[in-house]
Structure 1
Amino acid sequence: MKNFILKSISFVFHPLIMPLLGVLFYFSKTPRFIPEPIRNAKIFSIIILTIILPILLFFLLKTINKVQTIYLKSTKERLIPLLVNCIIISLILLRVLTPNEIVELYYFFLGILCSTLACFIMAVFKVKASIHMIAASGFFMFAVAIGIHYQININGTIALMMIILGAIATSRLHLKAHTNQELIIGVFVGLFPQLIFSNYWL
C-alpha cells in the first residue's frame, strides 16, 4: 500500500502538469480582467503544448527505443525529451504567452525554459537532477511571487505546496529514482530562475 501511494505521488505530480498548474493558479488569483475566451484559449494551448504533445513524443521515442519510461531514469534518456521541451517552451513564449500580453506568465515560462536548459546541460555532462523537484519548486516560487505581487493571502497554497514537495521528495527517494543530492539540485534549478525573473514583474 505504501509503495502504491508513493508511486502515485510521482505520477500525479508529474513535471508535465506543473506549467498548467501555474497558468491555472495565475488565472484564479489575478485581479486583472482577462476575457474568458482569451483565458480558455491560453489554457487550451498550454494543455496541448505542455502535456499532450510531450506525451505523444514520448510514445514516439519509446517506439524507437530512445526512452524506456516516462520518468526518464538515465541522463542519456533525458537528452532528446529535454531538448524538445526547450523548443516547445520557446514556441509558447513566442506565440502563446508574449510579454506584452501577460507578463507574469511570460516570465514564469521563461524561468521554466532556463530550468529545462540547465537540466539539459547537466544531462550532457552526466549530472542527474530531479525533474519532479525542478518543476514543483518552480511552481512553488511562482505562486509565492504571485501572492506578494497581488498582496493576497496564499498561506494555504504555500503550506499545501510544502507538503507536496516533501511528498514528492519522499516518493523519489523511496523509489530509488534519485539521491538526496539530486533532489537538492532539482530544487535549486527550479527555484532560482523563477526567483530571478520575478524581479522583472514584481
Structure 2
Amino acid sequence: MKWIIKSISVVFHPIIMPLLAIHFYFTKSPRFSPEPFVYAKLVSITILSVVLPIMVYFLLKTLGKTETIHLKTTKERIIPLVVNCVIVSLIIYRVFPENQIAELHYFFVAVLLSNLTCLALALLKFKASIHLIATGGVFMFFVAFAIHFSININGSLALFAIITGAVATSRLYLEAHTPKELLAGLLIGIIPQLIVLKYWL
C-alpha cells in the first residue's frame, strides 16, 4: 500500500502538470491546430517544464543544495522556484504569447503567479504543497476550459478530481505536508487561475 501511495506522488509530480494541461487542451479543444504546430509546442514544453527542471535538480543535488526531488524543506525550494519562475516567464513570452493561444498564455500567467506566491511563502518559512498547487491549477483550468468552449468534459473533471484527492491523500500519508499546507497549496493553485479568467473566458 505504501508503495502505491508513494507512486501517486511520483506519477503526478508537479513538473508534468503543465505538459498534461497542454496535451489536454490540444486533444479536447474544438479549434483546429496544425499537427506540426502542436508537436512543436509539446516538445518545447517537455524540454522547458520537464527536462530542464530535472537537470537543475541534479545540478543542485550535486552541489548539495537539495536532497530529494520533493524539496522537503523551505530552504531547498527557493532556488528551484526561482528557476521555475524564469522558465514559466520564458514559456509565457516565447512559447505561448497572447496573440497565439490566449487560453494557454493566461494559464501560464496564473502558473507564474502561483509560483511567485509559493516562493514568497518559502522565504517566510511556510511550505505550501507544490503538488496541490499544480493539480489545483490544472483542475481549475479544465473547469474554465469546459465553460469557455461549452463542451462536456465531466468525465475528465471527475477523473482529475479523484487524482487531486489521491495526491492530497498521498502527501498526508507520507507525512510530507500538514492539512494546512495542502489546503494552502490547493488555494494557491486555484485562485490565480480564477484571477486571470476575465482575460480569456
1:13 is displaced (CA, Å) by 0.3
1:198 is displaced (CA, Å) by 1.5
Query: Aligned runs of 1:64-83 on 2, under 5 Å?
Result: 64-83=63-82
Query: Aligned runs of 1:180-199 on 2, under 5 Å?
Result: 180-199=179-198
2:59 corresponds to which residue?
Answer: 60
Q: What TM-score results when the alignment is normalised by the length of structure 2?
A: 0.99
- DSSP-derived class of the 2:127 partner: coil
The count of residues paired between Structure 1 and Structure 2 equals 201
1:171 corresponds to which residue?
Answer: 170
2:91 corresponds to which residue?
Answer: 92
Where has structure 1 moved over 4 Å in runs of 4 or more?
Answer: none
1:122 is displaced (CA, Å) by 0.3
Distance in 1 between residues matched to 2:30 and 2:160, nearest whole Å: 22
Gaps of 5+ in 1: none
2:149 paired with 1:154: no
1:199 is displaced (CA, Å) by 1.6
2:14 corresponds to which residue?
Answer: 15
Gaps of 5+ in 2: none
Post-superposition CA distance 1:120-168 (Å, at most 9, x none): 0000010110000000000000000000000000110111111111100
2:46 paired with 1:47: yes
2:199 corresponds to which residue?
Answer: 200
Q: What TM-score results when the alignment is normalised by the length of structure 1?
A: 0.99
Post-superposition CA distance 1:37-64 (Å, at most 9, x none): 1111001000000000000010000000
1:31 is displaced (CA, Å) by 1.1
2:143 corresponds to which residue?
Answer: 144
1:195 is displaced (CA, Å) by 1.1
Percent of aligned positions with the same letter in both sequences? 59
Alpha-carbon RMSD across the aligned residues, in angstroms, is 0.5
